[in-house]
């Protein structure tokens, strides 16, 4: 059971596999490199299958291009200021790989490691990763397990991790969604609703200021379904800093409970996506830094704003932000978070 084909060999000689899951309603492809969601096909309003995530056809492109398309990122998703934090009286230094900051786990984060396939059926893949003590500067030996599962028209991603010493841990998937089809260009006409009353504004290097600000009365407000592009170029400092949306929103409700996070839709394809999560936050990123003309699957061309990401997560830079939800993984208290993407069509 379960379909696997070779996807190439890394310069270090590790073979990468491409796994296919298909339940007859939706299907997806997952790479063992980065436990990456390489494709996700869902029915559009006419019943045709549409691939709604950006990706590449070759391993080389995944290894050489930045952007983390579809990858599971860790040990700590998003940024840690200056690559530094203190924990239990010790100072830790991580790789600085994004301006002055640490981003998405460092130089060789989980997105760039080859994962093991622990289990594979037609509808479920369990991938595991061993993250040694000291990897990329983080303390503690962490064992990670990510499960992709299809059920009905839902894709569920379940993140689990255990450690033998205290460590920051923040796991997410960095899928770039385009609900009109991955190769259909600009997404600014696609509509988004976020179950968030507030967000965490950042400095010019995308590090949170430490405050939690209401979205009300600002172009950050997605409490009602709104086209992504409607206010993206508004003269609002937070949008100007990141060249679009690149912000952590505080998801309403209790962390640890699977609850509504976002709804997004394309009126062109008729595809609707509901996102639920147990995580405290979600990063809305409008693919601001995807280079114009970047070659994607099937030879198509991607560019800035050709996708949006909804990275469910702990807040960026939590290890240095005492007021943010605690993103510390401790021995005996596993990381256990779930995000579910459910697809339907407009009536």
Provide, rounded to whole angstroms, the least separation between the CB of residue 105 and ligand BGC. 11
Single residue of 34, 43, 55, 67 touching ligand BGC by CB under 6 A:
67
Cis peptide before 75 (omega within 30 of 0): yes
- Compute how many other C-beta atoms are within 10 angstroms of the C-beta atom of residue 48: 10
Work out whether 311 is an interface residue with ligand BGC (CB under 6 A).
yes
CB nearer ligand BGC, residue 139 or residue 201 = 201
**Is residue 144 within 8 Å of residue 160, measured between CB atoms?**
yes
CB nearer ligand BGC, residue 247 or residue 297 = 247
Q: Which two tokens stand for residue 25?
A: 């309603």
Distance from C-alpha of 72 to C-alpha of 157, rounded to nearest angstrom: 10
| 198-217 footprint of ligand BGC as x/- string (CB under 6 A) | --------x-----------
Q: Around 21, how many Cα atoms within 13 Å sit in the side-chain half-sphere?
A: 28
**Is residue 173 within 8 Å of residue 159, measured between CB atoms?**
no
Work out whether 78 is an interface residue with ligand BGC (CB under 6 A).
yes
**Is residue 97 within 8 Å of residue 103, measured between CB atoms?**
yes
Where residue 206 falls (left for φ over 0; alpha for ψ -120 to 50; beta otherwise) is: left
Residues annotated catalytic, as ranges: 174, 311
Q: Are strands 27-31 and 36-43 parallel, antiparallel or unpaired?
A: antiparallel
CB nearer ligand BGC, residue 269 or residue 313 = 313
CB nearer ligand BGC, residue 78 or residue 124 = 78
Provide, rounded to whole angstroms, the least separation between the CB of residue 311 and ligand BGC. 5
Provide, rounded to whole angstroms, the least separation between the CB of residue 172 and ligand BGC. 8
Show contacts with ligand BGC in window 227-256 (CB under 6 A): 246
Show contacts with ligand BGC in window 253-292 (CB under 6 A): 283, 285, 289
Work out whether 101 is an interface residue with ligand BGC (CB under 6 A).
no
CA separation, residue 14 to residues 39, 60, 328 (Å): 22, 13, 31
Q: Which residues bind ligand BGC (CB under 6 A)?
A: 67-68, 78, 104, 206, 246, 283, 285, 289, 311
């Amino acid at each position: 059971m379960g379909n696997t084909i070779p996807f190439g060999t890394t310069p270090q000689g590790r073979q990468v596999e491409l796994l296919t899951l298909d339940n007859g309603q939706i299907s997806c492809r997952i790479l063992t490199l980065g436990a990456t969601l390489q494709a996700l096909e869902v029915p559009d309003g006419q019943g045709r299958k549409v691939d709604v995530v950006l990706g590449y056809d070759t391993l080389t492109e995944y290894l050489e291009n930045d952007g983390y398309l579809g990858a599971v990122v860790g040990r700590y998703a998003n940024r840690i200021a200056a690559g530094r934090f203190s924990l239990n009286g010790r100072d830790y230094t991580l790789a600085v790989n994004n301006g002055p900051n640490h981003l998405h786990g460092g130089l060789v984060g989980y997105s760039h490691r080859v994962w093991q396939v622990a289990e594979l059926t037609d509808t479920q893949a369990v991938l595991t990763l061993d993250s040694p003590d000291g990897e990329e500067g983080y303390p503690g030996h962490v064992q990670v397990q990510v499960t992709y599962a299809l059920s009905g028209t839902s894709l569920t991603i379940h993140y689990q991790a255990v450690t033998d010493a205290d460590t920051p841990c923040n796991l997410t998937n960095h899928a770039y969604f385009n609900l009109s089809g991955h190769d259909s260009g600009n997404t600014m006409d696609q509509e988004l609703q976020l179950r968030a009353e507030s967000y965490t504004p950042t400095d010019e290097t995308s590090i949170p200021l430490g405050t939690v600000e209401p979205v009300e009365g600002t172009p950050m407000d997605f409490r009602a379904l709104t086209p992504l592009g409607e206010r993206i170029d508004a003269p609002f400092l937070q949008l100007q800093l990141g060249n679009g949306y690149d912000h952590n929103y505080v998801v309403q409700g209790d962390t640890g409970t699977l609850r509504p996070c976002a709804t997004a839709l394309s009126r062109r394809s008729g595809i609707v996506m509901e996102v639920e999560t147990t995580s405290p936050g979600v990063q809305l990123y409008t693919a601001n830094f995807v280079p114009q003309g970047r070659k994607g699957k099937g030879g198509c061309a991607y560019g800035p704003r050709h996708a949006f990401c909804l990275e469910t997560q702990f807040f960026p830079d939590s290890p240095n932000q005492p007021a943010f939800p605690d993103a510390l993984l401790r021995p005996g208290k596993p990381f256990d978070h779930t995000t579910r993407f459910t697809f339907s069509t407009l009536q």
